[in-house]
Structure 1
Amino acid sequence: MHFQQVQQAFVAHIKNPELPMPEGIAEDRMAVYRELFFNNVQGFVSSAFPVLKSLYPQVRWQALVRQFFIHFACTSPYFLHIAEHFLHFLQQDYQPQAEDPPFLLDLAHYEWAELYLATKQLPQQEQPLAAAQLTEVPLALSELTMLLAYPYPVHQISSEFQPQAAGEVQCYLLYRNRDDEVKFVLINPLTAALLNNLQQAPGSSLMQLVKALAPLVPQLDSDTLLSGASAILQDFAAKGLLVSFQAEQNSLP
């Protein structure tokens, strides 16, 4: 057997112990490799998705991670990349089983988003805006924020609370604060639309954002809408989530 064939058989057996071992390697040595590689991947996945893991019996969780380990090609040992690969596996390749929670994909995405923001590196320093600057300068939403929406209250899910049916969509603004802690704010759909407009069109002024929002709430006059939008953005500015628009940064491909 050629070296490459031995190497392929070695990797295949480590990922799936039901496949034959490569010739010439002792069982006890292979057992060490199998346990080491799988435990490392399982540890990474369990650390990235602690709430999801807590909802499964240990044997069932190990079987889920093993299925990921067998079928998904991780090309990077970096912790965050393994977590992202696991999320993609659940979204694209995994066939949910009867014992899986109905909110599996939503909770997994939410936990990945928390990890993503906790580890994200900015290409350059952001300049937070003070509330008094909202009417004076072009606005931008910090890159340390994410707008999320799920048909389950993912922030409440635990082993004691597991909703069995989708309900009203929950909108979140997930963010990393000045102390590098990942937090969230529950927001209503109108606030989500306001922030989404800003995210899609960084550099907008407050008046431009209000004008774009007006067709969604024709029952509100412009003064009321402006007052409400100003109050919302002032609150987010106080949290450090509104930053000075950097035209050079936002023009990068």
Structure 2
Amino acid sequence: MHEVLHDQLMSMARYVRDPQHNRPPPGIEAQRLAVYRQLFFGNVESLLSGGFPVLRTSLGPKKWQAVIETFYADYRCQTPLFTEISGEFVDYLAEGGGDALDLPPWVVELAHYEWVETALLLSDTREPAHDPEGNLPEGVPLLSNLAWPLAYQWPVSEIGPKYMPHEAPEQPTLVLARRGADLKVHFSLLAPLAHALLASLQERSCSGREHLEGLAKVIGMDGASILPQGLALLENLRVQGVVLGTRA
């Protein structure tokens, strides 16, 4: 009895996922199966449309529908939570999902850029213990867990239905995404030095002075020449709440 029920449920699940390549379970009217298909698929499509509005409008209705259908049929999500399906969709695209649909080369990065807003809005991460008045040059500056320095090959902040580039520009698009005290996610473009500093804060645990000296070596400058500008940048980032202060 249990095996029969299991087979029936799996047959129905396969059909609801991909009715083009799976037989319907016996004994259920086609009209009823269509209701289930629309209920489950419609919920996923609606969720992803809300999470990726620029990607959806840029691809157009037919291409977008095809992408969602292949994702729904082929990808095996690792979470049952609806709030995490957007991240699963980004993983699907990054792993080559939808390649057969001849998608534009910027799709993966644009999807990630849009997902970042959802991820930061829903994040329940806690900030580490810190001294908000700490000495940034000598102490260990701490980057907020809600501030993400990002680098993209494609100009993701500009792509949309009216601008869909065929070639990536020579310079990357450097972005800071952060959730502010107003509980909204803000995006800002970064200069190369600012992005390099934020990336260094994210990757290394050392004093502010050591961060700046390391960056100076990378770009072939003397540490003393970059220090005043770098320290002013650190202090400005603290004022914005991007840098919390120093490790307690």
Q: Normalising to structure 1: TM-score of the pair?
A: 0.88
**Mapping for residues 107-126 of structure 1, pairs under 5 Å:** 107-124=110-127
Per the TM alignment, residue 26 of structure 1 is displaced from its structure 2 partner at its CA by: 1.9
Distance 1:178 1:126 in 2: 18
Paired residue for 2:242? 241
Looking at structure 2, the residues matched to 101 and 124 of structure 1 have their Cα atoms a distance apart, in angstroms, of 37
Equivalent positions of 1:33-112 (< 5 A) are: 33-96=36-99, 100-112=103-115
Give the C-alpha shift of residue 126 in structure 1.
6.2
Equivalent residue for 2:143, pick from 141, 144, 147: 141
Cα distance in 2 for residues equivalent to 1:57 and 1:231: 45
In the TM superposition, what whole-angstrom CA distance separates every residue of 1:142-168 from its partner, at most 9, and x where no partner exists?
A: 000112111221111111111211012
Map 1:200-215 → 2, pairs under 5 A? 200-202=203-205, 204-215=206-217
C-alpha distance in 2 between matches for 1:239 and 1:128: 15
Match of 1:182 among 174, 182, 185: 185
Distance, in Å, in 1 between the alignment partners of 2:145 and 2:107 is 26
How much does 1:188 deviate? 2.5
Q: CA RMSD in A?
A: 2.2
Judged with a 3 Å threshold, the aligned counterparts in structure 2 of structure 1 residues 245 and 233 are, in CA distance, closer, same or farther, namely closer
Instruction: State whether residues 52 and 115 of structure 2, in contact with CA within 8 Å, keep that contact through their aligned partners in structure 1.
Output: yes
Change (3 A) 1:180 1:125: farther
In structure 2, C-alpha distance between the alignment counterparts of 1:169 and 1:124, rounded to whole Å: 29
SS class of match (2:38): helix
Counterpart for residue 166 of structure 1 = 168
Q: 1: distance between equivalents of 2:141 and 2:238? A: 10
* Matched residue type, 2:224: D
* 1:101 alignment partner, SS class: coil
Counterpart for residue 151 of structure 1: 153
Q: Number of paired residues?
A: 244
1:205 to partner: Cα distance:
1.8
Misfit runs of 4+, over 3 Å: 123-130, 244-247
Contact 2:139 2:247 in 1 (8 A): no
Cα 1:246/1:235, change in 2 over 3 Å: closer
- Counterpart of 1:154, as a letter, is V
**Identical-pair percentage:** 30
Is contact 1:128–1:241 with CA below 8 Å preserved after alignment?
A: no
For residues 188-227 of structure 1, what are the structure 2 equivalents within 5 Å?
188-202=191-205, 204-218=206-220, 220-227=221-228
CA shift, 1:71, in A, is 0.2
- Whole-Å separation in 1 of the counterparts to 2:223 and 2:245: 25
Counterpart-to-counterpart distance in 2, 1:46 and 1:226: 46
State the Cα distance separating 1:123 from its structure 2 match.
3.2
TM-score by length of 2: 0.89
Cα distance per residue 1:99-145 (max 9 Å; x no partner): 52221111011111221111111235765835x84246421100001
